[in-house]
Amino acid sequence: MEIALNSIPVLSNDIIFRFEPNIKDGTIFIYHINNQKIHEGNKSLYSVFKLIDGKKTVESIIKEIEIQYSSESFEEIKNSVIEIFKYFLSEEIVYMRRGD
């Protein structure tokens, strides 16, 4: 599955999420109403998740994450964020709109 950098991730209307900062140094729980799966992620995954607003492109989200995790290389961050989006897409947590 290819993720275009100019695509715009949009959260599904079928999810409920909660971030718990005191569990394992930050844990996000995402519940999908339709398939009743509960997904658990760490603080890094939450950092990506909270930037999804239906307006930012994948590329702009990667750049914002790069600022937060400046000790990592751009390529490492890009690859990690793209893998997160692939997971989100496969679990129908997000869908992608075409960007400019």
Write out pLDDT tens, residues 22-72: 999 999 999 999 999 999 999 999 999 999 999 999 999 999 999 988 888
The bridge status of strand 15-20 relative to strand 94-97 is unpaired
Residue type, 14: D
pLDDT higher at 12 or 72: 12
pTM for the predicted model, two decimal places: 0.90
| C-alpha to C-alpha distance for 62 and 82, rounded to whole angstroms | 9
3-state helix, strand, coil in the chain (%, to 5): 35, 25, 40
Q: Where are the domains of the chain?
A: 8-97
CATH number of 8-97: 1.10.10
